[in-house]
Amino acid sequence: MSVLSAPKNLTKNVLIGMALGVIIASFFYYFQNSIPQSIFGTVEKYVFQLGGQIFKNLLMLVVVPLVFFSLVSGISSLSNMIKLGSIASKTIGLYLFTTGLAITTALLFGWIFNLSGYEGDVSSFTPVAGEASLYDTVLRIFPNNMFGAFIENNMLGIVFISIIFGIALNLTDELTNGLSKTFERFNTVFLKIVLLIMSFAPVGVFCLMGSYVITKGLNIFGDLAQYVILLIGVLLFHLFFTYSILLKLLANLNPLIFFNKMKNVALFAFSTSSSAATIPVTLKTVTDDLGVKKDVSSFVIPVGATINMDGTAIMQGLATMFIASTVGVDLSLVQFGQIVLLAIITSIGTAAVPSAGTVTLALILGSVGLPLDAIGLILAVDRILDMIRTSVNVCGDAAVSCIVAKSENELEEKIFNRLG
């Protein structure tokens, strides 16, 4: 077995951990009146919440160094710097295109199925603090402190710094006595750390699922069944239909092989609800299992975790329609166009952390004259939906990686088509 091979039976063990987390947490939730409060509180806080947070912290621990070393080593090894511009333009163009496609699909489905609003009182809903700003988003790309960007986990700034550093290293590699090789070695070390963390994934997923169920129980839909079911349906449609079409049309790749190899990544994304926390696992899978060369994957994946928010765009589209119906507002065709445009723009500034899309949703609601306090209604069911849309986001990152790599002759199709 290779030193950088993934743990055996990882998918099976993660699914077992997920199922056990749901079952055990459900027992505590539904029988909490029969369980001493001290025991219930201890299990909730020190088993599920603490265990889940430790696992997420371990994943986040390696995100920044892995993105930096992977991107720098990938760019510094490019023999033709013009290729970097080609990769970047294709990547950003595809990400914005799929996001636009996602929000348009969501609005179309909402119109076809006549998405109706919540019939209860919305006056007591708590507004979400925060506002997305295009100005601030652009500024984050160009940080005034290199170390500050790393400390604050400013992914846009880290990607920019890594690109500049990688280009400079590429142009001065002979003067620095092959310093780029050192970055490649560091990248290998951090990939190994990722694999060590992945060994504890079944336990981590057990705790993450348990921490949600022990708080909410299994009644995740409540009075929002139509919104939730339609949103899940559109997310799955975009995941399996849209990405399959793009993979086949733009890269002539087999979608079934792609999804089979992405199941571990999707499970990780589902359990963490964070595109950023899933970056290490996504990078490993895209490079080793899908055959995307490091030159492409080291750029496309970190950028995707920052600007590719297809799942979030779908939520924002349906949530806006749902809230509009709730308060009795009929959206015009111009407003629908405005929603599409803003969803694409705000996807660039949406943080790759759990439920960040609900903050940027405030900007869209405000732009079409809808009350911000109605977001509180969406938050009631957002946790489980956030898990699903994060899985959609990371699969989109991987799909774009494959498409860009194929167009640049940087995809090893033998590895992609290899089964087992």
Q: What are phi and psi of 411, to 5 degrees?
A: -115, 125
pLDDT of 220-245, one tens digit each?
555 577 888 899 999 999 999 999 99
The answer to whether the predicted template modeling score (pTM) of the entire model surpasses 0.85 is no
Domains of the chain (ranges, CATH numbers): 10-417 (1.10.3860.10)
d(CA 290, CA 137): 32
Q: Is 74 left (phi over 0), alpha (psi -120 to 50) or beta?
A: alpha
Report whether pLDDT(397) > 90: yes
- Report the 10 Å Cβ neighbour count for 412: 14
Asked if 62 and 187 touch (Cβ cutoff 8 Å), the reply is no
Report whether pLDDT(30) > 50: yes
- Per-residue pLDDT, averaged over 259-268, amounts to 90
Asked if 4 and 192 touch (Cβ cutoff 8 Å), the reply is yes
d(CA 260, CA 282): 14
Query: What's the pLDDT at 128?
Result: 42
Mean of per-residue pLDDT scores for the chain? 81
Measured CA to CA in angstroms, residue 403 lies from 95, 98, 154, 159 at distances of 11, 12, 27, 21
pLDDT of 88-129, one tens digit each?
889 989 998 999 999 999 999 988 888 765 555 554 444 344
Query: What's the pLDDT at 127?
Result: 39
